[in-house]
């Protein structure tokens, strides 16, 4: 059995909840506003922890204090982002699924997740040795710089989903149609 995502997003688009959210006057905008506010909490706090790891801010605090006291807020922000993000996808499943920006965003989120796992299981293992250092070792700084760049990319590609430059129903070079996985019925004749 193959996983037919095309059928899945079309099925999702036919659900009463998806249609209601899509056609709602205010619900969609409230959710999107919460999604944007979530950036301040999620990306904002993660950026502060990254700046500490780079030795650029809050150098009087140990790295473990920063992680222990600030990262729980980042996790709360992440839950808010995922919850509202899923609802936004649920409201517009087919177009989002075929959005070049959305696909790029998911790739960047995947890369950011890998970066977190490497930091957690490799880079951070000898943290006790550099916990108090104003400037942590190169490995930690590289992780932090990657984190900042990847999450910034997630924010920017996320914002770009709203623009329709690369939509399937607009004239596109074949390359775009392939990358966005445009089905025949969406492509402009």
Partner 1 sequence: MSLYPWFEALEATPVGDGIKESVWLFPVIESVHLLALAMLGGAILMLDLRLLGLGLTSQKTSTVERAARPWLIGALLTMIVTGALLGTSEALKLYDKQAFWVKMAALALALVYTFAVQIPLASRDPRLLAKPLAVVSLGLWLTVAIAGRWIGFS
Among residues 161, 163, 167, 171, the alpha carbon closest in space to that of 179 is found at: 167
Task: Work out whether 65 is an interface residue with partner 1 (CB under 8 A).
Answer: yes
Residue 99 makes CB contacts below 8 A (sequence gap 6+) with 161, 166, 167, 180
Stretch of 57-65, 86-94, 114-122, 124-132 contacting partner 1, by CB under 8 A: 57-65
Residue 70 interacts with partner 1 (CB under 8 A): yes or no = yes
Under the binding rule (CB under 8 A), the answer on residue 156 touching partner 1 is yes
- Cβ of residue 115: shortest distance to partner 1, in angstroms? 17
* Contact status: 32 vs partner 1 (CB under 8 A): yes
Nearer to partner 1, 140 or 161 (CB): 161
Helix (H, G, I), strand (E, B) or coil at 183: coil
| Residue among 67 and 115 whose Cβ is closer to partner 1 | 67
Q: Which of 21, 55, 59, 107 binds partner 1 (CB under 8 A)?
A: 59
Alpha-carbon distance of 105 to 68, in angstroms, equals 28
Q: Which is nearer to partner 1, 4 or 23 (CB)?
A: 23
- Give the span between the Cα atoms of 75 and 42, in whole angstroms: 7
| CA dist., res. 32 & res. 30, Å (int) | 5
Eight-class DSSP state of 160: H
Question: Whose Cβ is closer to partner 1: residue 129's or residue 159's?
Answer: 159
79 binds partner 1 (CB under 8 A): no
Measured distance CA(7)–CA(10) in Å, rounded: 5
Residue span 36-55 as binding mask against partner 1, x where in contact by CB under 8 A, dash where not: xx-xxx-xxxxxx--x----
Residue of 61, 76, 80, 90 interacting with partner 1 (CB under 8 A): 61
Which residues in 92-105 are b (16+ Cβ under 10 Å) and which e? bbbbbbbbbbbbbb
Contact in structure between 6 and 183 (CB atoms under 8 Å): yes
Task: Give contact residues for partner 1 (rule: CB under 8 A).
Answer: 29, 32-33, 36-37, 39-41, 43-48, 51, 57-62, 65-66, 69-70, 73, 152, 155-156, 159-160, 163, 165
């Amino acid at each position: 059995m193959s996983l037919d995502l095309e059928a899945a997003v079309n099925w999702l688009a036919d659900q009463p909840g998806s249609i209601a959210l899509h056609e709602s006057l205010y619900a969609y905008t409230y959710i999107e506003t919460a999604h944007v506010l979530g950036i301040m909490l999620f990306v904002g706090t993660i950026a502060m922890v990254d700046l500490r790891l780079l030795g650029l801010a809050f150098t009087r605090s140990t790295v473990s204090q920063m992680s222990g006291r600030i990262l729980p807020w980042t996790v709360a922000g992440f839950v808010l982002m995922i919850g509202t993000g899923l609802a936004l996808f649920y409201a517009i499943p087919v177009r989002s699924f075929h959005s070049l920006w959305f696909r790029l965003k998911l790739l960047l989120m995947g890369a950011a997740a890998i970066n977190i796992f490497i930091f957690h299981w490799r880079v951070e293992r000898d943290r006790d040795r550099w916990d108090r250092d104003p400037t942590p070792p190169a490995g930690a700084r590289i992780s932090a710089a990657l984190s900042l760049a990847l999450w910034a990319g997630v924010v920017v590609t996320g914002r770009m989903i709203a623009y329709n430059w690369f939509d399937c129903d607009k004239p596109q070079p074949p390359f775009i149609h392939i990358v966005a996985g445009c089905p025949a019925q969406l492509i402009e004749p």
